[in-house]
């Protein structure tokens, strides 16, 4: 059993310290995903809190056989953020959602200077090809299906999988 | 199994991104348990992606906000279910009260409806009684008017022989050839018998039947209007067998009265 498995088990048994550790591990990532969808700092703060509280309250419904713990929270976060963008009040205040992708946010993110791997990631996104941008944006940040992604990029659905791997492979080369 | 080819297929990237079906997730999970290389690959992909998305976050967020929101304090957690129960119990109690209230209301409604029916019936009965009383009054007025009319001859009929206690009165309106017989002083006719009224001329003694009073026993005021076109000099009442007789049975003559022709 890995450390992560143990941590998740403790989290499911309502261990607040385990929760805090998991939060430290994933909160920035989840925040980034949510922010990329709603593009509002205050709203994404609020949403991310909701997401983690929801995860805490429904902890027993997670099972490692269903996927990674991070993936589980990622799904909750994407759904919450997308629901938010569909809500009436959100539509009224955010008529023109920025069409920028995650790469633009990262490229212009001043906050990154303090983070490790920041330079690598910034370099990575500036070098990233259009297809990779769309693939990662859709499959990972927005949670679109492979079919939707394939249709937008006008590539065969089988290609989505391999192309996506090579895009992420480049990222790994930069940050690890 | 070719682990390298499996890794190269790109399925693990989709696994971390949450793009696989429930069944595929299960399969990947089982493989990660069997093959450490696959698990390592998954962790590497996850690390890269979490770092990438963390870079899209404009600022860090504090755990304390969440900590306060979920109220990690055990005492507070203890309280939570209690509150829920209290609310639930209150809810149930309220429903039960509501149900009882509804039943009570329904019951009251039914009782009231029955009361209304009873009152309606009583009202109808009273209305009928009032109607009857009005009719009676009208009849009595008519009778009184008839008896009081000008030119009426009053003929008292006295009890005869053994029937001394019997009496009757005839009010004769010659104008419309009608007599009103007030037979209150006669007993009810026994079964199989009937009262028969006679008009008599005295010289010679000739009885003419004015008919039988078939409804005597059931009549309330015992006053009967009878047509009489005869030049009667006296009136008599006898008890006859049902259907009446052609000539009066003198032994059964109860009352007799002579018309006083003197003005």
Per residue in B25-40, pLDDT (tens digit) is 999 999 999 999 999 9
Q: Which CATH class is domain A3-93?
A: mainly alpha
Residue A86 gets which letter from DSSP?
Answer: H
**How far out from the chain centre does Cα A90 lie?**
20
- Spatial separation of the C-alpha atoms in residues B209 and B192, rounded to whole Å: 19
The residue ranking higher by pLDDT, B219 or A32, is A32
Contact partners, residue B72, CB within 8 Å, separation at least 6: A16
Check B18 against A75: CB less than 8 A apart. Answer: yes
Chain A closest-CA separation from residue B54 CA (Å): 4
Rounded to whole angstroms, how far apart are CA atoms B249 and B228?
21
Q: What confidence score (pLDDT) does residue A109 get?
A: 72
Beta-bridge partners for B258: B234
Angle value at C-alpha B8, between B7 and B12, nearest 5 degrees? 45
- pLDDT number for residue B241: 92
Return the residue of B nearest to A141 by Cα: B53
Torsion sign across C-alpha atoms B231, B237, B243, B245:
negative
B18 contacts A74? CB cut-off 8 A: yes
**pLDDT bracket for residue B262 (50, 70, 90):** low
Query: What are residue A25's DSSP bridge partners?
Result: none
Q: Which pLDDT does position B73 carry in this prediction? A: 47
- pLDDT for res B65: 81
pLDDT greater than 70 at residue A61:
yes
Least confident of B51-60, B193-202, B205-214: B51-60
Q: Which of A141, A66, A51 is CA-nearest to residue A103? A: A141
CB contact under 8 A, A168 and B67: no
B46 CB neighbours in chain A (<8 A) are 68, 70-71
Q: Which phi and psi (to 5°) does residue B215 adopt?
A: -100, 20
Q: Do A29 and B19 count as a contact with CB atoms less than 8 A apart?
A: no
Model confidence pLDDT, tens digit, residues A81-115: 999 888 877 777 665 555 667 777 777 776 665 55
**Cβ contacts of B141 within 8 Å, gap of 6 or more:** none
Chain A residues inside the 8 Å CB shell of B30: 65
The answer to whether the Cβ–Cβ distance between B55 and A109 falls below 8 Å is yes
Q: Where are the domains of chain A?
A: 3-93, 102-175
Q: CB-CB: which of A105, A146, A168 is closest to B45?
A: A168
Q: Is the Cβ–Cβ distance between B202 and B171 less than 8 Å?
A: no
Residue B109: the pLDDT is 94
- The pLDDT score that the predictor gives to residue B239 is 92
Q: What is the mean pLDDT of chain B?
A: 87
Please name the fold of domain A102-175: Arc Repressor Mutant, subunit A (1.10.10)
Q: Report CA B137 to chain centroid distance, whole Å.
A: 33
pLDDT tens digits along B119-150 = 999 999 999 999 999 988 888 888 888 888 87
For residue A26, the model assigns a pLDDT of: 93
Kindly list the residues from chain A whose CB atom is less than 8 angstroms away from the CB atom of residue B15. Answer: 67-68, 71
CA angle in degrees (0–180, nearest 5) for B237-B243-B249: 40
Give, as one character, the DSSP assignment of residue B187: P
Inform me whether the pLDDT recorded for B78 exceeds 60.
no
With vertex at residue A130, the alpha carbon angle to CA A124 and CA A136, rounded to the nearest 5 degrees, is 65
CB contact under 8 A, A30 and B45: no
- The C-alpha atoms of residue B207 and residue B246 are separated, in whole angstroms, by 9
The predicted structure's pLDDT at residue B218: 86
Cα distance between residue B214 and residue B168, in whole Å: 17
């Amino acid at each position: 059993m890995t450390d992560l498995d143990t941590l998740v088990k403790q989290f499911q048994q309502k261990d607040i310290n385990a929760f805090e550790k998991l939060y430290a591990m994933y909160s920035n990532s989840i925040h980034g995903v949510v922010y990329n969808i709603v593009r509002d700092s205050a709203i994404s703060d609020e949403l991310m809190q909701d997401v983690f509280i929801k995860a805490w309250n429904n902890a027993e419904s997670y099972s490692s056989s269903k996927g990674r713990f991070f993936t589980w929270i990622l799904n909750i976060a994407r759904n919450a953020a997308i629901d938010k963008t569909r809500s009436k009040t959100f539509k009224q205040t955010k008529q023109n959602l920025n069409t920028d992708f995650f790469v633009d946010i990262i490229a212009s993110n001043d906050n990154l200077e303090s983070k490790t791997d920041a330079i690598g990631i910034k370099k990575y996104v500036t070098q990233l090809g259009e297809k990779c941008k769309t693939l990662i944006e859709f499959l990972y940040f927005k949670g679109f299906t492979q079919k939707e992604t394939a249709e937008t990029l006008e590539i065969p659905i089988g290609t989505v999988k391999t192309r996506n791997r090579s895009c992420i492979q480049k990222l790994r080369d930069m940050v690890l | 199994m070719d682990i390298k080819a499996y890794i190269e297929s790109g399925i693990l990237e989709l696994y971390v991104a949450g793009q696989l079906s429930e069944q595929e997730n299960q399969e990947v999970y089982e493989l990660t348990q069997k093959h450490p290389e696959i698990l390592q690959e998954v962790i590497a992909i996850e690390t890269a992606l979490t770092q990438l998305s963390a870079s899209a976050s404009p600022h860090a967020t504090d755990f304390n906000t969440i900590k306060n929101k979920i109220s990690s304090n055990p005492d507070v957690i203890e309280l939570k279910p209690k509150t829920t129960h209290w609310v639930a119990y209150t809810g149930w109690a309220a429903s039960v009260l509501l149900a009882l209230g509804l039943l009570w209301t329904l019951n009251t409604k039914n009782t009231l409806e029955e009361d209304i029916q009873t009152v309606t019936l009583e009202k109808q009965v009273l209305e009928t009684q009032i109607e009857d009383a009005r009719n009676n009054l009208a009849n009595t007025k008519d009778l009184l008017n008839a008896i009081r009319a000008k030119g009426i001859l009053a003929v008292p009929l006295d009890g005869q022989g053994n029937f001394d206690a019997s009496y009757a009165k005839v009010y004769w309106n010659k104008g419309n050839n009608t007599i009103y017989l007030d037979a209150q002083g006669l007993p009810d006719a026994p079964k199989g018998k009937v009262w028969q009224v006679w008009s008599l001329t005295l010289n010679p003694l000739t009885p003419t039947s004015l008919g039988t009073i078939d409804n005597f026993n059931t009549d309330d005021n015992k006053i009967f209007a009878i047509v009489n076109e005869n030049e009667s000099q006296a009136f008599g009442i006898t008890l006859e067998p049902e259907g009446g007789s052609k000539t009066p049975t003198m032994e059964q003559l109860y009352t007799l009265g002579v018309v006083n022709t003197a003005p």
